[in-house]
Copies of this chain bind each other. A is one copy, B any other.
Amino acid sequence: MTRLIHKIPITRSTYRHGDLKRALLETSVMLARDGGPDALILREVTRRVGVAPNAAYRYFASRQALLKAVQSSALALMAVFIENETAKLPSELTAVDFAFANLRAVGTGYLKFAQAESGLFRVVFAIVDDVDPTQVNGDDLEPFQLFRAALDQLVDAKVLTTENKISAQYFVWSSVHGLATLILNGSLNHMTHQQVKVLEQKLFDRIEKGL
């Protein structure tokens, strides 16, 4: 009896973990937060969870599959960052002004996520050499969709035509994503945080002009 009590491990009180899949995924996300895709090391994940290295294989077919799962989580978190910004929008604007403000909000959330969660951002855009397509979760959010609602509003506000919407969407995405990657790869390291902020605003100005 007492023996049993002493044998209770810190991280696990039952023989079966009970929630190993979730634990593996959450730990994987933590690792990826700190070091990006390369920091997702299967053995390290299982070590932290307190389980044998091969235990992960009951829930994920391979490291790739686990990375794919982290990718989904990261993208969902990115969407939350964006929603946090769009939620702040004042409602007493004209449709046109609101649509533009919304676009800026989405871009701001995108850039904030890239900077606050650079590891996860890099995971989102890491190349995952095709995971078994039968395993692909069809209703996964796609990064391309993040700007969609904002662009739809611009169409509704007659700022954009329907024909131009797609190319506008790629234009906005490229510009914002490009700035995000330049920030992350250190190309803007000579600037202060404040200067980067100013640059972001000027980028949005030019994006609006270019639509």
Near B by CB (< 8 A), chain A positions 177-205 give 177-182, 185-187, 199, 202-203
Interface size, A (range): 20 to 34
User: Is A144's beta carbon under 8 Å from chain B?
Assistant: yes
Q: What residue in chain B is nearest A210 (Cβ atoms)?
A: B210
CB distance from A81 to the nearest CB of B (A): 18
Residues of B within 8 Å of A211, CB to CB, are: 206, 209
Residues of B within 8 A of A167 (CB): 199, 202-203, 206
**B-contacting 9-mer, from A3-11, A58-66, A98-106, A168-176:** A168-176
Question: Are B186's CB and A174's CB within 8 A?
Answer: no
- 28 A-B residue contacts at CB 8 Å? A125-B181, A125-B185, A125-B187, A126-B185, A127-B185, A127-B186, A143-B187, A167-B199, A167-B202, A167-B206, A168-B206, A170-B179, A170-B199, A171-B206, A171-B207, A173-B178, A173-B182, A174-B179, A174-B203, A175-B175, A175-B178, A177-B178, A177-B182, A178-B179, A178-B181, A206-B210, A207-B210, A209-B210
